[in-house]
Amino acid sequence: MATTPGAVYKRDFWADENTKYARPHHRMLKVARVVNRLSAGKNCRLLDVGCGPAALGLLLAPNIRYYGIDIAIQDPSPNLKECDILQEPITSEGAPFDLIVAQGLFEYLADHQSRKFAEIADLLTPDGTAIVSYVNFDHRRPDYYWPYSNIQPSKQFRDSLKDHFVVDKQLPTSHNWNHTEPGRWYVRVPNMYLNVNIPWLTSWLGVEYLYICRRPA
């Protein structure tokens, strides 16, 4: 099925789609590692935007209080909010948050990207951190998953982020010859700990990027 630019999918689609992420995958494991390191053992609140089955919450250190928001919540819980964020603002009773994660989200948001960046920034504490993922469509052989509605070069995405945040770091989730997160352990393990951009190579083989951001002073 071909990608339809601008098309967005509703709860019926996501109720099935997000079950694919109930088992933590490479990007989620790497995000959890980054989050646990950033929390530095301090008590903090985290909002997972587009949380799907809330698998990230199971990977976090006990000092992190987890909240999630998604269009299709699988197992209702007081800390999880079901909401179509294309129809309503991103909000949570747990705000403000020390950490906000939005992984595997912005490729599906059509032309709502800038507005959602602004809403996320408003939910952060003054010294809070946002961690945003985005597929590297500059890959040597990019994979355009058919439900994607927001496809752009990495520089364009980062420039849009910079309208709302200070981007402290941009790091690859992994390097892979194919545009998929690595499956074999001997490729996956070193990629888990490789948090640098390698000139020329990362733009060509980086699968996705994580952007570590903060609110402007």
Domain-embedded: residue 6? no
pLDDT band with cut points at 50, 70 and 90 for residue 7: low
Domain hosting 115: range is 11-214
pLDDT in tens, 145-192: 999 999 999 999 999 999 999 999 999 999 999 999 998 888 899 999
Give 19-54 pLDDT, tens digit per residue.
999 999 999 999 999 999 999 999 999 999 999 999
Helix (H) or strand (E) holding 131: strand 124-135
User: For the chain, what is the domain count?
Assistant: 1
- 81 forms bridges with which residues in the sheet? 69
Q: Flag whether 169 is in a domain.
A: yes
Tell me the H-state helices in the chain: 11-17, 26-39, 113-123, 154-161, 185-193, 201-205
Q: Is residue 209 part of a domain?
A: yes
Entry pTM: 0.95
Domain at 209, CATH number: 3.40.50.150
> Torsion-angle region of residue 169: left (phi > 0), alpha (psi -120 to 50) or beta?
beta
Residue 2 in domain: no
Does 78 fall in a domain? yes
